[in-house]
Amino acid sequence: MSFKSIIDEIENNLKKILDDLFVSDISFSVETAKSGFGDISSNVSFLLAKQLKKSPKDIALMLSEKYDFCQSTLVSKSEPHPSGYLNFYANWNKLSQLILSESLLDEFGSIDIGKNSAIVVEHTSVNPNKALHIGHVRNIVIGDILSRILEKSNYKVNILNYVDDSGLQVADIIVGFEHLGFAQDPPPGKKFDHYCGDDVYVKTTEKYESDSSLQEIRKNTLKELEKGTSETALFADKITKRVLYAQLETCWNLGIYYDCLNFESQIIRSGLWSKIFEKLKEMNIIKFEKDGKNVGCWVIRGEGNEEDKVIVRSNGTATYIAKDIPYAAWKLGLLEDPFNYQRFEIPQPGNRILWQTTLENSLESKQNFSGQKVITVIDSRQARLQKIITSLMTKFKSVDDAYIHLGYESVTLSADTAKTLGMDTDGKQTQMSGRKGLYVNADSVYDLLKNKTVEETKKRHSDMMDSEIETISHQVSVGTLRYEMIKQDLDKVITFDLKKSLSLEGDTAPYIQYTHARAVRILEKSKKTPSIDIDFSLLNEKLELDLIRTIGIFDIQVRDAAMNLSPKVIAKYCHDLAVVFNSFYERVKVLDLDDKKLENARLCLVNSFKSTIEKSLGLLGIIAPDKM
């Protein structure tokens, strides 16, 4: 519980006081305090002012006097503030012991919001016709970190990746292979997903502009893909699986793992749509148009000024939204599962088994990847479609937040980074477009980050073995890429800059990782195993208490990140924790003290920081190297 323990103690005592005053239904807050307001502060006095017909200042004084008679373990005193806030001061001897002891436990920072309920997080969902680019990385990092936070919050998280293997973009590369003479194997040294995206896809879409006959071929190819039984469909399945393998290699390299792959082609052929279509009609959610521009179509009425959304065309074919609606209902467990399950052909690293859906018979047991709640990570350009699906799922499930679209804005490249990666942008930051070939794949950015990290590590550690340099450079490169994608608010466009992201100063992953390495170095120099059996009263300097307090609020940050679906909260916490430790490091001597008891106490604090920064970075999927 750590710092939350003192907050809970204060909340419980204040509720008892309010009960004695016959006051109820007051939703007051108890929070870590700003400077000048003690250690913890409450707004309870302001909320009582109208009911008690007194000023917040007088109420705070009265509550403070009553609080002195409450049983307190972690609070040394309460105090009214002239502004009306009720402030509390911690018994730091006891609170420090609690925080530093618990920080070393594996479960430190864990909370129980989820109550072990099942929740689905769907992310990535990239068309299997190209490599992942830097914009896709924001999606997969958001989804992965959110999954880690929810697992820390005691949810049973099912991580899904929706593979759109039957859409137009897949049809485009099949047209390229079958009708434009592209070889099935890439040039030597080029990954298959890079080849499909850079060469086959881009050059095929360019051909459409000069050869109108290809449009009909494209249309027919798409129909063949949706049938699923033709030679073209079987060939497409082979090609898309090769692209998918290559995409997953990129994800695994970045520490991204899944529970199940779901294929759009199977959803189309599963019969799920016909079941949900009948349900939509029964519930009177969709309307059949007898006149107007959508005559003969089934539509969902638009809200306000929004246009009606066609879900079944007049020729009886379903629009793309018709693929997403049954999939959303399947994720919530609202439809009988038509799929069987197989283990994916290539085992993914780590302990998570990767499953895939299949419509074929399988010797494997039936799996269940649905959830009581679903979070789908899709960029904000899909907000209209996701709003419709969210509205439909709310009506089906009769729960407001059962289906959540977590949107985010795009990623651009700074002019300098674009130039470094061989793109001419006339000195401007650039948006990416897979169709135009204006994108930088994630592998290239990782390689560039890694090469620069290798150079810097060799400068600092000329005697280090190549294998160790390789490991550290990988950890720093992955950490950098992940952190840059998560440290901004989701509704802000990210401008990725290679040079700034690798800085050992400021709000960067290397800065935080380097701070961890600094703590490791202190502990190594001490040649001692830190013990929790210390005199906690010796840790009484402001910089020491600031560090203990920041360590202690880890679980509060996890709670806020989980409740608000905001991975940035943990990124900010990691940075704040590193800043506080560096202030402590620069001003408080730890080693070679004449007072061995004080030295042991400070080593305990350093070890607590080390353990906490490892755990918090772990929620970001970032490893904390021992050397930098």
The 3-state secondary structure of 247-292, one letter per residue: HHHHHHHCCCCCCEEEEHHHHHHCCHHHHHHHHHHHCCCCEECCCC
Give pLDDT, residue 439. 65
**CA distance to 170, 230, 247, per residue, from 243 (Å):** 10, 20, 6
Q: Which two tokens stand for residue 49?
A: 């002012």
Contact by Cβ (8 Å): 536, 95:
no
* Digit-coded pLDDT (tens) for 208-232: 988 888 999 998 998 888 877 889 9
Low-confidence ranges of the chain (pLDDT < 70): 1, 421-439
* Digit-coded pLDDT (tens) for 558-613: 999 999 999 999 999 999 999 999 999 999 999 999 999 999 999 999 999 999 99
The dihedral of CA 528, 529, 533, 536: what is its sign?
positive
**CA distance to 272, 318, 350, 360, 608, per residue, from 338 (Å):** 8, 20, 29, 10, 50
Residue 383 φ/ψ region, left for φ over 0, alpha for ψ in the -120 to 50 degree band, beta for the rest: alpha
Give pLDDT, residue 120. 98
Contact by Cβ (8 Å): 413, 429:
yes
In angstroms, the CA 37 to CA 284 distance is 56
Contact by Cβ (8 Å): 549, 32:
yes
In angstroms, the CA 351 to CA 344 distance is 14
Contact by Cβ (8 Å): 575, 484:
no
Phi, psi of 358 (to 5 degrees): -155, 150
Report the candidate in 513, 476, 482 with the shortest Cα–Cα distance to residue 411: 482
Q: Which two tokens stand for residue 140?
A: 């997969």
Helices H / strands E in the chain, number of each: 23, 16
Residue type, 575: H
Query: 282-293 burial string, b = 16+ CB within 10 Å, else e?
Result: eeeebeeeeeee
Contact by Cβ (8 Å): 2, 107:
no
592-596 long-range Cβ contacts below 8 angstroms, 24+ apart: none
Which pTM does this prediction carry? 0.93
Contact by Cβ (8 Å): 392, 301:
no
Contact by Cβ (8 Å): 482, 621:
yes
Q: Which two tokens stand for residue 48?
A: 């009582």
Sheet with strand 309-312: strands edge to edge = 287-288, 298-300, 309-312
Give residue for tokens 């994630």. 442
Sheet with strand 40-42: strands edge to edge = 30-32, 40-42, 86-90, 75-80
Neighbours of 559 (CB within 10 A): 20
Report the candidate in 40, 59, 63 with the shortest Cα–Cα distance to residue 50: 59
In angstroms, the CA 272 to CA 147 distance is 27
Percentages (nearest 5) of helix, strand, coil residues in the chain: 50, 10, 35
DSSP conformational letter for 341:
E
Residue 185 φ/ψ region, left for φ over 0, alpha for ψ in the -120 to 50 degree band, beta for the rest: beta
Query: 313-352 burial string, b = 16+ CB within 10 Å, else e?
Result: eeeeebeebbbbbbbbbbbbbbbebbbbbbebeeebeeee
Residue 53 φ/ψ region, left for φ over 0, alpha for ψ in the -120 to 50 degree band, beta for the rest: left
Contact by Cβ (8 Å): 355, 313:
no
